[in-house]
Each structure stands twice: as structure tokens, then as C-alpha cells.
A and B are shown apart, each in its own frame.
Chain A
Amino acid sequence: MNALSVKDLHVKINESHILHGVTFEVPTNKVTALLGRNGVGKSTTLRTIMGFYEGTGSVELNGKEILGMQTHKIVQSGVAFVPEDREVFASLTVKENLSLAARGKNNDDAYKAVYDLFPELDTRAAQQAGSLSGGQQQMVAIARALLNKNEILLVDEPTKGLAPKLVTEVADVLAKVAQTTTMLLVEQNLALVKRVAQHVIVMDQGRVVYQGGPENLHDDAWVHQMLGVSGGHK
């Protein structure tokens, strides 16, 4: 069973053809890593699924077409998004960032679960999000997405620009979240991908060039050929 099916997705931005018929599936209750060199269209794919860009083709969430829907309706139908560069609301407090995201009437349990995952956010609830470190802002961004019941979580480069210690912390959190949530993860950190992903998609020049299990990630030659990096870490 697939939570998300993307079929023949084409996207043009300012006359540039970015995605050329992208097709892939995200299996339910698994972590799918979307990999590829910089600029191959990974983030564009996520942003098109989110409704930020217009595209042609099909994006189905549990069998229901969501391509062309407004972003807020896509989110309400169960797609949560953790953007690249966090995009927390810098002038709002941590608590305000979270309460903006919480959609249900009684969210006590959701807040408790999030604060269990990120105890630091509870102690910093009154602090402006803009004054947090990069790692703490990433926690806010992930926490916002986890406050609601989601069908799938789209996570765009969660460890980008973080110090190695924070990368480990974020990886721990994602590994925990992955136990209960379907996730489509764009990530350059292969160590993290190897740790959490059960399904791998590789893109090149706006197309999917590989879709399958993560076992090839342990093959240095394959990794070098597909991703242009060594298999250890990037």
C-alpha cells in the first residue's frame, strides 16, 4: 500500500523545465529517502507536492488526487511539511509557532508528545524562535509538523547547516518519528539516510533514475555513480 503516488509529474518554473515526468511511490509506514545531486529537483518535487508550484501529472495521497489543490487544503488532508531552512516564524515565540500549527481543538496530548520528544522546546516556550540556534529552530520546525495527525511527513534536508552534534540529535528524533509515521525525506547526509530509510528514490536531471531498497547505499561504487559522493558520508 502506498501513501503517496507521484505519476508523470512535470514542473516548469519561469520557462525552465525542472521536473520531467517524475514518477515514484512512497510506501505507507516506511521512510522513503529522495536522493540526488544538488539541483536535480528534489526540493522542487516536495514543494510541488505541497502546492507551492504548479505542475502537470498526478499526485495521489492514499488514492486521492491532491495535485492542483491549495496548499492549506493539501496540509489539511494529511501532508505535513518540514521545509529546508526551517522557516520558523522568527518574531513569534516557540509556543506561538506551535499553537499556530496545532489544528485540533484539544491538543494537550499532541503537545505532550512533542515536548517529550523535544523537552528543550517546553523550557524555551516563551523565547522568540528567531533567537534560537539552528538546531533548536529545526526542532520547532519538526514539532510543528508533528502536532497534527498526518498521513505523510515531507522533510526537506533537516540536517542542512547543522553542527555534527546537532545532526545526531535530529537523526535520533527522525528515527523515533519514523517508527510511527510515513516519511518522504530529502537528505544529503547518507549516514542518516542509511539509518532511517527503508526505501530509496534517486533523481537526476529532473527524473527518477532509481527506485528500490536501501541496500545499494552500502555499495560505494553505486553511490558514487548515482550521487557523485563517496558512500561514507557527505
Chain B
Amino acid sequence: MDTFILIGITGIGLGALYFLVASGLSLIYGLMGVLNFAHGSFLTVGAFVGWWIAGKLGPDTSMIDFIIAMFVGGLAAGLFALLIEQLLITRLYDRHIDQALVTVGVSLVVGALLGGWFGNDLIMFPTPMWFLTAVNVGGAMIPADRIVYIATAIMLLIGNWILLKYTRIGLIIRAGVENRNMVNALGINVRRAFSTVFFLGGFAAGVGGVLVSVYSNGVSPLIAGSYLIYGFIVVVIGGMGSVPGSFLAAMMIGVIRQFANYYVTGLGDFVVVILLAGVLLIRPQGLLGKVRA
């Protein structure tokens, strides 16, 4: 039973990281139809800025220091995402191949620049001592950092829900995911919502980048790779444009992957691909996605 709880909760922790990457990706695709391969670079920028801030805040990183580093990392990634949207994406709306090429290009450039500057080896991310401890949950000793991943993902989900449900920009985003032409036809400049979504998506990816660095035992220009792929899988399974769908899919994938890998090493990725194929066959719009108008 202890093992079951341990694998379950660490799987949820892994799912939380996937969710942080996927939530922005989902909204960006759902609202704008932009297939954003630069999303991984948002994660990397957030991770490096967070690492730099954590290093500046002192040799013994406290929980407050870490939260500040995570927030600033998210902010930097959000601003970087906004910059990319304003400089490049706004010129390429409805040009999907060009979007894919440009965003792949951005991710390559960012990776090369950071690699040239810092090298591609993992650089240790300063973390609070508490992260190295374990928390007893139902008899299972859960690594404390997993609790932080889960709590962050839940806070992001709640924040997203409040924004989408109770603010005008949230209303515009929800309507735009369904039918952005009609939002324009109501006299609303839907592109302003696009910028907000890019910033929020970048922020979540940046926060995710800091946590992925902790999970990966360090920051590196290469950390985003597999998380971006899983982010896309989460978005497809959860449903394009559905943040709750992304949350559900991320948790499912994290848990299934952990259990599969526990019983047969390396089976996790295979099971996730089977799950993806099954969802595409049975419910192509994803678990909570809607068929676009």
C-alpha cells in the first residue's frame, strides 16, 4: 500500500509539471490556433532566470527565496513570450506552417544562445533544505518537492479558473477559444486577448521551468525537450483550449507513466502513446475539448 501511495503521489507530482507546461500551450492553441514550438524556450528562460535569482538571493535558499525565484522566473518567461508574440506571431496568424517554422527557430536560437553561454551540462539549482526531506502520507514517504509541484499546479489551476470565469478578459478568452471571428464581430479586439494568453502561458511555463529544474537536479538549455513533447500530448488528450482538460490529462499521464515504469522499466512512454492513440480514435477533440465552431 505504501508503494501504491508513493507511486501515485509521485505520478501526480510529475503530472503537475506536465500541466504547468501544457496549460499555456493549450490556451495558446485553443484561442489562436498557434502551434507554439517555442513554448519549451519559455520554460528554459524561466528556469535560467529563476536559477539566477535564487543564486543572487543567498547561499542558503529559503522557501521564500525559492518562491520569489519561481515567480520572477515565471514573470521573465511571460514577458519573453509576450515579446515573441508581438515581434513574430502577430505577423503570422493563420499561417500555420510559418508559425511552426518560426517557433521551432526561436526554440533553437534560445537553446543555442543559452548553451553557448552556460554550456549544456546541468547546473545545480539552489533549493530549500526542506525539498530534500520526505513527507509521510499514509505511511509512504513522499519526497517533499513533489508536494510543491502539486500545490503549484493546483494554485495555477485555481488562478486560471478565477481568471477565466470571473473576469472580462477571461470571458473573451473562453469565447475566443470557441469562435474568435464572432468575438471580433461583437466589436472586441480578440488579439488583445491573444497577448494576455501568451503572457499567461509563458508565465506558467516559466514557473514549470523552475520546478522542472528542481526535478531534474539542475538547470540546462536542454531540460525542456521531453516536457514539451509531453505538454503537446497532454493538450491533445485533455482537449485543445481546455485548461481543466489539460489538468486531468496531465495527472492521468503522470500517474499511468509512473505505474507503468514501476512494473516494467521503460514501459511508461509506450503506454502514454497508446493512451494518446486511443483518445484520438475515440474522442478526437480530447477529454474535455469541444468541437470547434
Contact = CB atoms under 8 A, between A and B. Distances in A.
B175 interface: yes
Contact of B184 (A71, A99, A148): A71
A100 B172 contact: yes
Given A71-B181, A91-B178, A92-B174, A144 B290 contact: no
A83 interface: yes
A46 to B, nearest CB: 11
Given A72-B187, A91-B290, A99 B171 contact: yes
Given A89-B178, A89-B182, 14 more contacts: A52-B181, A52-B185, A72-B184, A72-B185, A72-B189, A72-B190, A75-B184, A81-B185, A90-B290, A91-B178, A92-B171, A96-B175, A100-B175, A101-B187
A45 to B, nearest CB: 15
B179 interface: yes
B91 to A, nearest CB: 15
Interface residues of A, number: 22
B185 A50 contact: yes
B281 interface: no
A76 B187 contact: yes
A100 B186 contact: yes
B120 to A, nearest CB: 44
A70 B184 contact: yes
A90 B289 CA distance: 13
Nearest to B176: A89
Interface centre among B175, B184, B187, B293 (most CB of A within 10 A): B187
A72 B187 CA distance: 4
B79 interface: no
Nearest to B189: A72
21 contacts: A50-B185, A52-B185, A71-B184, A72-B185, A72-B187, A72-B188, A75-B184, A75-B187, A87-B179, A87-B293, A89-B175, A89-B178, A89-B179, A90-B178, A91-B178, A92-B171, A92-B174, A100-B175, A100-B186, A103-B187, A144-B186
Contact of A148 (B179, B182, B183, B187): B187
Nearest to B185: A81
Interface in A78-102: 81, 83, 87, 89-92, 96, 99-101
A153 B221 CA distance: 54
Contacts of B172: 100
Interface SS of A by simple majority? loop
A234 B182 CA distance: 28
Contacts of A75: 184-187
Interface centre among A52, A81, A83, A89 (most CB of B within 10 A): A89
A100 B175 CA distance: 8
Interface string B176-205: 001101111111111000000000000000
Contacts of A148: 187
Contacts of A87: 179, 182, 185, 293
B178 to A, nearest CB: 5
A96 B170 CA distance: 11
A76 B185 CA distance: 9
Nearest to B183: A100
A83 B178 CA distance: 15
A75 B187 CA distance: 5
Nearest to A147: B186
B95 to A, nearest CB: 15
Given A90-B178, A99-B171, A83 B185 contact: yes
Contacts of A99: 171
Interface string A111-150: 0000000000000000000000000000000001000100
Contacts of A90: 178, 290, 293
Nearest to B181: A52
Contacts of A103: 187
Contacts of B187: 72, 75-76, 101, 103, 148
Nearest to B184: A71
A96 B171 contact: yes
A148 B188 CA distance: 13
A89 B177 CA distance: 10
B250 to A, nearest CB: 21
Interface in B147-179: 171-172, 174-175, 178-179
B181 A100 contact: no
A207 to B, nearest CB: 26
A187 to B, nearest CB: 19
A90 B290 CA distance: 10
Contacts of B182: 83, 87, 89
Nearest to B242: A91
A100 B290 contact: no
B209 to A, nearest CB: 31
